[in-house]
A and B are shown apart, each in its own frame.
Chain A
Amino acid sequence: MSGLLSLRPERLRELSLFAVMAVAVFIFSLLIDNYIGGSFFNRVTTSVAITAVLAAGQTLVILTRNIDLSVGSIVGVTAYVTGEYLHNHPDLAPVLAVGYAVAIGAGLGLLNGVLVAYAKVPAIIVTLGTLAIYRTWLINHSDSRTITSDGLPDWVVELPNSTIVSFGDFDIRTVVAGSIALIVVLQLMLGGLKWGRWVYAVGSNPDAARQAALPVRRVILGVFVASGALAGLAGFLFLSRFGTITVNAGNGLELQSVAAAVVGGVNIFGGAGTLVGAFLGAVLINLLDQSLLRVPGLSEFWRDAVLGTLIITAVAVDFLLGKRLGRLSTSARGRRATGVPPPGQGASSDA
């Protein structure tokens, strides 16, 4: 137990998420035939890829005590516009195509960032505004046309299918591997680079960060650009997954990304949380959603209610667990450090 308590709080949070997932998988495997099998694994992993990328971007923003509600519209715009571009330039190299989407997303995120960081407009206001503005632009630009998959190059349409390696029925698809690799790289950067530490600093105490002469505005600008760029990438994945893109593409994805982040233990008030946690949050929500879809006898109409209940349960359990373990861990560390029991639990920090 003491080994467990020597872990940092974030690791504990992530472990508790794993625990919740394991319990869920166990329960569902009793309800659903062939649950623990390759095909379900593939379903969940491919549908998680898009949400995971968005959750990563959202986490970066939330860490700085902001929020980005425009990601759904950014996904819609980039998916549509990239699809259009590929229609007209079908020989575009894959790297450039992805880069195109990412660049557009980054540009849209840049506008968000400038308004938040430099014009001092609160993030929720800016991104509520751009949520509407970007979608309005898309509808006007589209002229009611739908992007259809037959106009897209083959490699785009087949991307969701392509697999890097298979273990029997369990495929590790390209998009899944790519997303995971991206998250890992970002997490390492966040943890290891000084820029990463600045993100946490700005989120936990903006005033102190400012007084410590950190480039607060540039950090905030940076996370919004990153969020936009990641949303652009998600838009590309969206395009390749669905092929048919209308002006409604990406509707509602912003709430999903926030849900994934908070379920994953990212503190909505900033300064705490990890990308890995957000990824696990995305996986958990997706897992619950996809599992409920397959429970025999569970009517369509019960699913959302059950999903809402499960989310609040997961968050509450995770929160309490984290608090309890965090308190024990702090006191355990206190005991180890001084060799004397700490003066009671009252002074323990709030989670």
Chain B
Amino acid sequence: MRDKALRWRWELFLAVVLVAVFIVNINISEFYLGEQNFINMFQLSIEKVIVVVIMTFVIVNGEIDLSVASVMAFSACVLAALHQGGTVPFELAVVIALLAGTFAGALQGAFVAFMGLPSLVVTLAGLIGFRGAGRILVEDNSIGDFPEWFETLGQEPLIGRFSFALIFFLVLIVVAGIVLHRTAFGRSLFVIGNNANVARYSGVNVSRDKMMIMTASGFFAGLAGILFASRLGSVRGDLALGFELDIITMVLLGGVSIFGGSGTMVGVALAILIVLNIRNGLGLANIDQNTQTGVIGVLLILSVLVPNLVARLAGSLRVARTAERGPPAPGGPKEGGDTARQEADLRPTQG
């Protein structure tokens, strides 16, 4: 299918960009090549990228979750408040905080899956509401002094130089890739994202699947929030403020279509590597964060623009060559792809 071929072209583009970033980074900073630096590169954003993995599922499914950063904060605040209260043993508090995140996801999922409200709207309310809920618990305090095992888990390496969170992420992304691409559940997510009605008539339980994904999103956001608390050593109401934009940027950069129904975990993995490397490499070269953000913005646009242009050029070359050869015999290969999505381009676009 042309669709698939073009998608791999996207990943090829990303891979090329990653190589380019790598080469640039080596040249602009002598501190880039270093095992500790590569570890740092991941550890500094590890909570974000854990959520990126789950956000991939959400967007492939045709939804979006703007509340992830707020749910991260909410979970962390629940943990902090319980810890400060002193009546609940810390381990139990962690479990409750995880449940809180899961609950947040489930609540929003119920609105989306069973009431049919658009996820953009529901999670926009969640973005505001759950951060507010966290604030109620923590107010203007910074709550810390967590048990030593908790802070060690977040701040010290577990195996070699890899921290618990980093190991968790590596395992997660592999498992997620398998689930997304090799299981029936994963395939049903694509189908739902493609066309929920068609999925429903094919017997897929759309509501249940959407509910599951949104709940999972809440669970992993909660987990990420707790891991963040352990790495930072304390919790404040502004934890993970504004992270949702970065997370969504990484998913979209990875080639996942915002309309649902297509995307690969490989692409997302490449996008994660690209963004982390850009921030790290430019940071080590003392290029300010403002510029880093701008570069990523340009890259995001180019990541769709370039493959589109290339496809257009390839298409027009093909048309020119076909015109030379004369009209194809009936039954020959047709332009236009499959009828299911009716797109002439990489993405369903408007206009």
**Interface residues of A, Cβ cutoff 8 Å to B:** 64-66, 115-117, 119-126, 128-133, 135-137, 139-140, 202, 206-207, 210, 216-217, 219-220, 255, 258-259, 262-263, 268-269, 299, 301-309, 311-312, 315-316, 319-320, 350
CB of B329, distance to nearest CB on chain A (Å) = 27
**Interface residues of B, Cβ cutoff 8 Å to A:** 111, 115-118, 120-122, 124-133, 135-136, 139-140, 237, 245, 248-249, 252, 257-259, 290-291, 293-294, 296-298, 300-301, 303-305, 308-309, 342, 345-347, 349-351
Question: With A121-B304, A207-B342, A308-B125 in contact, do A133 and B298 touch (Cβ < 8 Å)?
Answer: yes
A-B contact pairs, 27 of them (CB 8 A): A64-B350, A66-B350, A120-B349, A121-B301, A121-B349, A122-B349, A125-B252, A125-B300, A125-B304, A128-B245, A128-B297, A132-B297, A140-B290, A216-B350, A262-B124, A299-B139, A301-B139, A301-B237, A302-B135, A305-B130, A305-B133, A308-B125, A308-B130, A308-B132, A309-B125, A312-B125, A315-B121
Determine the chain B residues whose CB is within 8 A of the CB of A202 once the complex forms: 350-351
Q: Is the CB of A255 within 8 A of B127?
A: yes
CB of B250, distance to nearest CB on chain A (Å) = 11
Q: Is the CB of A304 within 8 A of B128?
A: yes
The CA of A23 and the CA of B325, in the complex, are separated in Å by 71
- Best-buried of A116, A120, A122, A262 by chain B (most CB within 10 Å): A120
Determine the chain B residues whose CB is within 8 A of the CB of A125 once the complex forms: 252, 258, 300-301, 303-304
Interchain CB contact (< 8 A) of A122 among B117, B124, B304, B342: B304
Q: Is the CB of B351 within 8 A of A117?
A: yes
The CA of A316 and the CA of B301, in the complex, are separated in Å by 34
CB of B275, distance to nearest CB on chain A (Å) = 12
CB of A322, distance to nearest CB on chain B (Å) = 12
Q: Is the CB of B136 within 8 A of A319?
A: no
- Closest 6 CB pairs between A and B? A308-B129, A304-B132, A132-B297, A305-B132, A136-B294, A308-B128
Q: Is the CB of B296 within 8 A of A132?
A: yes
Interchain CB contact (< 8 A) of B305 among A115, A139, A219, A299: A115
Q: Is the CB of A301 within 8 A of B136?
A: yes
Q: Is the CB of B293 within 8 A of A132?
A: yes
Interchain CB contact (< 8 A) of A312 among B111, B132, B237: B111
Determine the chain B residues whose CB is within 8 A of the CB of A123 once the complex forms: 350
Q: Is the CB of A305 within 8 A of B129?
A: yes
Determine the chain B residues whose CB is within 8 A of the CB of A210 once the complex forms: 351
Q: Is the CB of A311 within 8 A of B349?
A: no
Determine the chain B residues whose CB is within 8 A of the CB of A299 once the complex forms: 136, 139
- Best-buried of B129, B130, B237 by chain A (most CB within 10 Å): B129
Q: Is the CB of A302 within 8 A of B350?
A: no
Determine the chain A residues whose CB is within 8 A of the CB of B131 once the complex forms: 304
Determine the chain B residues whose CB is within 8 A of the CB of A255 once the complex forms: 124, 127
Report whether over half of chain B's contact residues are helix, strand or loop; otherwise say mixed.
helix
- Smallest Cβ-Cβ distance to B107: which chain A residue: A312
Question: With A125-B304, A308-B132, A319-B117 in contact, do A259 and B124 touch (Cβ < 8 Å)?
Answer: yes
CB of A141, distance to nearest CB on chain B (Å) = 11
Determine the chain B residues whose CB is within 8 A of the CB of A131 once the complex forms: 245, 297
CB of A251, distance to nearest CB on chain B (Å) = 9
Determine the chain A residues whose CB is within 8 A of the CB of B308 once the complex forms: 119-121
Determine the chain A residues whose CB is within 8 A of the CB of B342 once the complex forms: 207
Determine the chain A residues whose CB is within 8 A of the CB of B351 once the complex forms: 64, 116-117, 120, 202, 206, 210, 216-217, 219-220
Q: Is the CB of B304 within 8 A of A258?
A: no
Q: Is the CB of A129 within 8 A of B298?
A: yes
- Smallest Cβ-Cβ distance to B258: which chain A residue: A124
CB of B229, distance to nearest CB on chain A (Å) = 19
The CA of A133 and the CA of B301, in the complex, are separated in Å by 10
Q: Is the CB of A119 within 8 A of B128?
A: no
Determine the chain B residues whose CB is within 8 A of the CB of A129 once the complex forms: 297-298, 300-301
The CA of A149 and the CA of B248, in the complex, are separated in Å by 37
Q: Is the CB of A315 within 8 A of B125?
A: yes
The CA of A319 and the CA of B121, in the complex, are separated in Å by 11
The CA of A156 and the CA of B305, in the complex, are separated in Å by 41
- Best-buried of A139, A217, A308, A350 by chain B (most CB within 10 Å): A308
The CA of A124 and the CA of B245, in the complex, are separated in Å by 11
Interchain CB contact (< 8 A) of B117 among A65, A124, A135, A316: A316
Question: With A133-B298, A312-B125 in contact, do A302 and B258 touch (Cβ < 8 Å)?
Answer: no
Question: With A122-B304, A206-B351, A259-B124 in contact, do A128 and B252 touch (Cβ < 8 Å)?
Answer: yes
Q: Is the CB of A311 within 8 A of B297?
A: no
Determine the chain A residues whose CB is within 8 A of the CB of B346 once the complex forms: 120
Determine the chain A residues whose CB is within 8 A of the CB of B124 once the complex forms: 255, 258-259, 262, 311
CB of A253, distance to nearest CB on chain B (Å) = 14
Determine the chain A residues whose CB is within 8 A of the CB of B116 once the complex forms: 319, 350
Determine the chain B residues whose CB is within 8 A of the CB of A116 once the complex forms: 349-351
- Smallest Cβ-Cβ distance to A320: which chain B residue: B115
- Smallest Cβ-Cβ distance to A111: which chain B residue: B301
- Smallest Cβ-Cβ distance to A306: which chain B residue: B132
The CA of A260 and the CA of B249, in the complex, are separated in Å by 23
- Smallest Cβ-Cβ distance to B294: which chain A residue: A136
Q: Is the CB of B117 within 8 A of A136?
A: no
Instruction: With A202-B350, A308-B128, A316-B117 given, name 9 new contacts (CB 8 A).
Output: A121-B349, A123-B350, A202-B351, A258-B120, A302-B136, A304-B128, A305-B132, A316-B111, A316-B115
- Smallest Cβ-Cβ distance to B311: which chain A residue: A120
Determine the chain A residues whose CB is within 8 A of the CB of B252 once the complex forms: 124-125, 128
Q: Is the CB of B301 within 8 A of A126?
A: yes
CB of A209, distance to nearest CB on chain B (Å) = 8
The CA of A130 and the CA of B308, in the complex, are separated in Å by 18
Question: With A128-B297, A303-B132 in contact, do A268 and B347 touch (Cβ < 8 Å)?
Answer: no
Interchain CB contact (< 8 A) of B115 among A128, A136, A262, A319: A319
Q: Is the CB of A119 within 8 A of B309?
A: yes
- Best-buried of B115, B118, B127, B297 by chain A (most CB within 10 Å): B297
The CA of A121 and the CA of B345, in the complex, are separated in Å by 10
CB of A225, distance to nearest CB on chain B (Å) = 14
- Best-buried of B128, B140, B290 by chain A (most CB within 10 Å): B128
CB of A129, distance to nearest CB on chain B (Å) = 4
The CA of A259 and the CA of B122, in the complex, are separated in Å by 10
Determine the chain A residues whose CB is within 8 A of the CB of B298 once the complex forms: 129, 133
The CA of A237 and the CA of B132, in the complex, are separated in Å by 29
